[in-house]
Amino acid sequence: MSILVTGAAGFIGARVCQVLLEQGAHVIGVDNLNNYYNTDLKKERISTLSSSRYFDLKEVDIESVDLSDLFKLEEQREITGILHFAAQAGVRHSLDAPIDFINTNVKGHIAILEFARKLANLKHLVYASSSSVYGRNAALPFRESDRVDRPGSVYAASKRAAELMSDCYQHLYGLPQTGLRFFTVYGPWGRPDMAYFKFARAIMRGETLTLYEGRELARDFTYIDDVADAVLKVLAAPPSSDQQRLLNVGNNSPESVSYLVTLLEKHLGRNASVSVMPRPVADVETTWASIDAIENLAGWRPRITLDEGIGRFSEWFSRSKYV
Q: Are strands 55-58 and 177-182 parallel, antiparallel or unpaired?
A: unpaired
Please check whether residue 105 is in contact with residue 87, taking contact to mean a CB–CB distance below 8 angstroms: yes
- How far, in whole angstroms, is CA 215 from its chain's centroid? 27
Helix, coil or strand: residue 125 = strand
Instruction: List the beta bridge partners of residue 93.
Output: none
Instruction: Specify whether 155 is catalytic.
Output: yes
- Around 25, how many Cα atoms within 13 Å sit in the side-chain half-sphere? 22
Active-site choice (155, 196, 223, 322)? 155
Using CA atoms, how far apart are residues 209 and 169, in angstroms rounded to an integer? 44
Residue 1 CA to residue 94 CA, distance in Å, equals: 37
**Cβ-contact 43, 9 below 8 angstroms:** yes
- State the Cα–Cα distance between residues 280 and 26, nearest whole angstrom: 43
- Residue closest to 202 by CA, chosen among 155, 264, 158, 135: 264
CA-CA distance, 104 to 185, in Å (whole number)? 20
Amino acid at 316: W
Indicate which residues carry an active-site annotation. Answer: 155
